[in-house]
Amino acid sequence: MTPLEIITWGSGESVLLVHGSLMDGPTTWARQRPLSERWGLRVVQRRGFGSSPATEGEDFEHDADDLCDLLVRPAHVIAHSYGALSALLAATRRPGAVRSLTLIEPTSVTAGLEDPDIARAVGGIADWWMTAPRDPAKFLAGYSALLGVRVPDLTDGSAGLEAAARYLRHCRPPWTAEVPWEIIAEAGIPTLVVSGGHSPALDAIAAAVARRTGGEHVLIRGSGHAIQRAADTFNPAVERHMRSARVQPASSHDEY
């Protein structure tokens, strides 16, 4: 049995919502709550958030195991940032239990390290981990600048500034993840990868993940890294994806 806190919104076909770093589940997915009129949303609180077990640092391997425990019945999975890396790994371990994947700016950097934008970003972040100041605000500001994302307001709905910085500082680095991409492609899991057009590195990673999984990469601009906040565009796109149950061509790239 998983130890995680799970918050349920609505009923119907099951959808797991997996948040990323810094912000908790209900805050991350607040603008997806209207989907609960048609879907059974299960908002996952990853380790260190809400009443889920404490953690010293984020760990995509532990998170993937937790998600596998939740996939006792088939579900759609929508995941953001570091949480999207965990969702990818869970899908490779339980492919028959994943009806569709929606990945919002996943940090799955190993999908495209041959891309200069990705390689530069990973190198810069790895150096920052070694030399960054201990002050949480300064650490997060430098990390966000390197990745091209904005630090969210951590005064509410998060693990707190110091905890969020600690989780990142002590995380299992995304560039160490070994993702067996072929499992997702061969299983035919419909995969939608979304990026926001604000970071060349994150756009390149999203495109690479789509190629590797045989999925579709789309751009939804206007909300930076928190693309799900552009709910008027994001929510219809993800509903179309979940209903389609068809793998999109690997070369497909659209902009909404």
By percentage, how much of the chain surpasses pLDDT 90?
56
Quick one: average pLDDT of 158-174? 73
Tens digits of per-residue pLDDT, 34-68?
999 999 999 999 998 889 998 888 899 999 999 99
- Lowest-confidence pick of 10-14, 174-178, 199-203, 251-255: 251-255
**Can you give the residue range of the structural domain that contains 175?**
5-255
Please check the confidence at residue 32 and state whether its pLDDT lies above 90: yes
Q: Please determine, for residue 249, whether its predicted confidence score (pLDDT) is greater than 50.
A: no
Cα dihedral 111→211→228→135 (10° resolution): 10
Amino acid 23: pLDDT: 84
Taken in order 256, 196, 187, 9, the sign of the CA dihedral is: negative
Instruction: Say if residue 31's pLDDT is above 80.
Output: yes
Average pLDDT over residues 127-142: 78
Query: What is the structure's pLDDT at 256?
Result: 46
Q: What's the predicted TM-score (pTM) here?
A: 0.87
Q: What is the mean pLDDT of the chain?
A: 86
- Give the strands of the sheet with 14-18, arranged side by side: 5-9, 40-45, 14-18, 75-80, 98-104, 191-195, 216-219, 253-255
Q: How many domains in the chain?
A: 1
Instruction: Identify the CATH number of the domain in which residue 227 sits.
Output: 3.40.50.1820
Q: Is the pLDDT confidence value at 2 over 70? A: no
Quote the pLDDT of residue 71: 95
What's the average model confidence in pLDDT over 211-239?
95
Q: Which amino acid is at 24?
A: D
